[in-house]
Each structure stands twice: as structure tokens, then as C-alpha cells.
Amino acid sequence: MGVGLVVFALILYVLVGAGVAVLARGGAGRGMAEYFLWNRSMGGFIGALSYSATTYSAFMLVGLAGLTYAGGVGALGFEMVYFSGLVLVAFFGPRFLLVGKKFGYVTPSEMLGDRYGSRGVAIVAALASCVFLIPYSAVQLAGIGYLLSGVTDGGISFTAGTLVATALAVAFALVAGIRSVAWTDALQVLIMLVTATIAVLLVVSSLGGFGELFGRVAEEHPGALSVPGGGFFSFSVFLGLTLPWFFFSLSNPQVSQRLFMVGTMRNLRRMLLGFLVIGFVYTMVAVVWGFAALVRFPNLESGDLATPSLLSSDLVPPVVGVIVIVGILAAAISTIDSILLTLSSMVARDVYGNSPGGADEGRQLLVGKLVIPVIAVLALLFAGLQLDLIAVLAVSSSAGLLVTVPAIIGAFFWKRGTAAGVLSSIILSGLFVTYLEVTQTRLLGQASGVWGLLAAVLLYVGVSLVTTAPDRKAEEFLGYLRGALKDKGAL
Amino acid sequence: MLQEAYIVTKLCGKRTGESYKLRREETGAKMKRRGVFFVAAALFLVLLAYVVPYAVLSGVDAWYGSFLFWAAFGLAAILLNAAITSSWRD
């Protein structure tokens, strides 16, 4: 694929994105809730587009398509189990929304700190998110680097690709905070969804239609349409991949913070259902894309090469290919800028805000803005390590964040939960997961997420039972929710 | 308090103090039953996503096996979310 065409498309994308980001500044007020939460008045429609863009990243068309290529239909099951995890938003979304408004929370870690009556909890939860989400952002950057260098045969280097993506993500986050992130997200999710759908329809049509495609998959690749099939998706692998992703909507603050942004139940419902429709279409597109690559290029060295190979092939007209690349770039950047914004809000609100002299909101906002490029550079450095297996790394980050889930669920359902329980569960289980990932250890054949979650539950419950619960705060928090949920008709 | 009474009135269509309390308790019990039902439905649905492809469809190596099942499972998840959130109000 010609470098000139790719560069031209990138310039066009940058110009349109920058224009949208600048326009998003109109009507913006001041303060942390405004900059990071849209003053809790984000609309349901834009919420759905932004939630989708933040959730779905370069992983979908590069990583998930690659997983389909390598492991077959189990990749669809993996993504659909994640998808079904959005039912957690139906249960927890109203809770986040209501306590966020009532107590003025800006970040999910601030909520945990207040609920458990401990600044330490807020700080540790914020830092844990940084530790695991910076690698996750790096994975996105690496995805762009691989893709751009792959489709241009090295014409655009890995480093140049990651640099451009980092600069754009920082710019989109800094221009107007969540307003510029959400509006550029909306633009980007439309680009990524429309381009990918068009491309996959073209490819399937070139291969003779859906019947022919699936017929060839079944005939030429026995086991690709069943699990465990060829063996890639053994049950333990499937469980290890799906468990962290099922809880993604709770464990990942860049999406759970969205629940503070939509101020009404009506908008929350629109955001959830809108996301589900977009997610369903995008998942099916990515999986069919992976199968198409399997039929057309059956002997690739790695699943990560499936998308670049397909985009460079004669099945995709060059112009469409370039637009799809921009779509993948948009998917990655819309995820990274949201992560940057969320992490910076956590550092500003929970780490700086809980330090001596950090109570001033104006200063917190300034710190938040300064932290955005710092986190971006850290992600860029991590991406420079050029680690392989994009999908596995992304999942590892999720496995790390999974250890916060018991504390989040407990905050809403268990009065006896304590700060000591939360701290031990997040710190010790987080270290445990990191150890398992670094040493690539699979105890009893199970992945790190399974053990991390088990350890986090045991520590949270065990330590909470032998320490003193913050009774007054728990009663205030849970007592308010009992009445408010009933009034809102939520479960 | 006034606001609470207004909401209960709106919900139950009753106007006496005693029936406010009664109706409110009934509504609470109904919502609790609804909650248990939907939690059970969600758990059952997610369980199916693991059991059916690995235990029932592992020998069906065609599009109408696990591919179709997981696609239908995704649609069922959308419907479940729509049902759970249908009672939300502002």
C-alpha cells in the first residue's frame, strides 16, 4: 500500500479530528466535574458513541481478528462473554450514577476511598489503575505501530506510527477534557464502524459470500468453527481470557467513570443499549474479518498479521484499505485519550488531592492537565519495547484490574467491607497477578486472572472480617442507595 | 418526605397514609423479586455461553454450531439489558 496515500488519509483524519475537538470547547464551564465529567450532563446518544469508542480499540480489528485467525470461533465466544458483562452496567450503573451525584465523586477510586473511609484506598486504587492501564494504552500504541509499518512495508516506521498516535491522543484529551474526548470519540466510532463494515462486506463478497466463506473455513480448517476445535481455545484458556473481560465494565475506570457522566437514568439506559447495538455489529465484523483472512492467507506466521495482510491484498481496494486503517487508528486513539483523561483525573483527585495542600480544586485541575502528557510518554516508552501478542497483553492488563472488582462490588453490597480488606486485596492480589504474568506461570493450568480474582475475594473478605468496618459511612452510602434505587425503578 | 409521598402516590395511585406504606412495601417486595429473577437470568445466560459450546456443540464444526450460538447469545444479552432497564425512571 502506498505510503503517500496513507499519509494523505492520516492528515485528513488529523484535520477533521482537530476541528471537532476545538468545536467541542463551546459552552464548556470550569472545574473538575466539568473538565472530567461534562458536569454530569452527557447525553445518552453521545454517551453510547463515546462508551463504544473507549471500549473498542485497535484490539478489535487487529487483536480479535488475529485471535479468530489463530484460534477460530472461540474468539467470538470470548468477545461475546465480555459483551454480556455489560449486564453489570444494568445492575451497577444506577448505583454509580446516584452516589456520584449525591457525594460529588469525580473518579471511581474517589468513590471507593470515601465509601471505605480511607484516603489510602483512593490512592492505591488510582495507582493500581495507572500500573495496569498504562501498559494497556501501550498495547494500543503498539497496535498502531505494527499496523502502519505492516501495511506500508516499513514506509511508516513503528516509532513514527506510535508517535503520531500519542500526539493525537494527548491533543484530543487536552483541548476540552471530556467534551473533546467524547465528541472526537463519536466521530471516531462512526469512522471505525462504517469503514470496517464496508470493508468486511467487500472482502466476503470477493470470497463468494458468507456461505462460501464459512464453507471454506469448515473444509480447509477443521476445528475452526468449534471449541476447543484445534486446541487453541482449551477451556482453561477460554476461562482465563473471558473472566477479566466479563468484569471490564466495572474494573476499568475509563469506562466506569462514564457512569458518573450521564446525569439521568434515561441517558444511562440510552448509553447502555446504544453501546450494545454498536458492540454487537463491531464484534461480528471483526470475527468475520478474521475468518476471511484465514481463508485468504492460511499460512501467516502470526494472527497479528491477519489484518495487515488482508488490507494489503487485492480483496480490498487501496482507498477502502486506507480508510479502514484510519478507522483502526481512530479506534486506538479514542481508547487511549479516554484512558489518559481518566488516569489524569485519578492522579489529580486521588493522589494529589489527598496530599498536603492538594484540596484546592483549581490546583487539582491544573495537575490533571499536566499529568496527561506525562502518562502518554510513559505509554509510548512501553510501546517501544515492541512486545508481541497484542491480545494477550491487553488481557493481562485487564487481569490486573480485575483485583479491584471485589472492593467495588462490596462497596455496594457488603456493609462489613473495610479499608484494610480493600488495600490488602488490591495490593497483594495485584502483585500476585503481576508475578504470574512476568513469570508466565499458569498454576494448575489456569490463567493469572482466575487466581488474581480468587486471591482478591479471599483477601477482601478475610481481612474485612477481622478489621473494623466504617459503619457510619456504610450506612449513609447504602441507606441512601436503598431509597434512591427504589425511586428510580432500578434493581 | 413530601416528595417521597408524591412519588409513592404517583406509583400506586393511592392517597391514604396507611396504604402509602403498604403499597410501598408491596412495590419493594415486587422489585426484590424482579431483582432476583434478573440476577438468576443473567447468571444462567452467562453459564450457557460456557457450557453449550464446550459441552454440546463441540462436535459441530460449522457456522450453525458455536458461531450461531454465540451470535444469538449476544442478541439475548441485549434483550436482557433492555428488559432490566425498562423500569428505570427519572
Q: What is the mean pLDDT of chain B?
A: 83
Contact B77 A276 (CB under 8 A): yes
Give B52's contacts in chain A (Cβ within 8 Å): none
* A312, A147 contact by CB (below 8 A): no
Q: Which grid cell is B1? A: 418526605
Q: What is the pTM of this model?
A: 0.91
DSSP states of A184-230: HHHHHHHHHHHHHHHHHHHHHHHTT-HHHHHHHHHHHSTTTTSSSTT
Contact A76 B67 (CB under 8 A): yes
Contact B66 A225 (CB under 8 A): yes
Residues 6+ apart with CB under 8 A from A403: A128, A425, A426, A429, A430, A433, A452, A453, A455, A456
From the number of C-beta atoms within 10 Å of its C-beta (0-12, 13-18, 19+), residue A220 rates as: exposed
Q: Is the pLDDT of residue B4 over 70?
A: no
Give A486's contacts in chain B (Cβ within 8 Å): 27-28, 31
Q: Which grid cell is B78? A: 441485549
Question: How far apart are alpha carbons A370 and A363 in whole angstroms?
Answer: 11
pLDDT digits 0-9 by tens, A109-140: 999 999 999 999 999 999 999 988 887 888 88
* A185, A338 contact by CB (below 8 A): yes
The identity of residue A314, as a single letter, is: D
CA distance A73 to chain B (A): 6
* Residue carrying C-alpha cell 467534551: A179
Q: Which residues of chain A have pLDDT under 50?
A: 389-391
Per-residue pLDDT at A421: 98
Per-residue pLDDT at A453: 95
Q: Is the pLDDT of residue B18 over 70?
A: no
Per-residue pLDDT at A308: 83
Per-residue pLDDT at B5: 47
Contact B74 A283 (CB under 8 A): yes
Contact A84 B53 (CB under 8 A): no
Which B residues 17-76 touch A at CB under 8 Å? 27-28, 31, 34-35, 38-39, 42, 45-46, 49-50, 53-54, 57-63, 65-67, 70-71, 73-75
Per-residue pLDDT at A386: 60
Per-residue pLDDT at A343: 97
Per-residue pLDDT at A167: 94
Residues 6+ apart with CB under 8 A from B7: A487
* B83, A91 contact by CB (below 8 A): no
Nearest to B78 among A280, A487, A488 (CB): A280
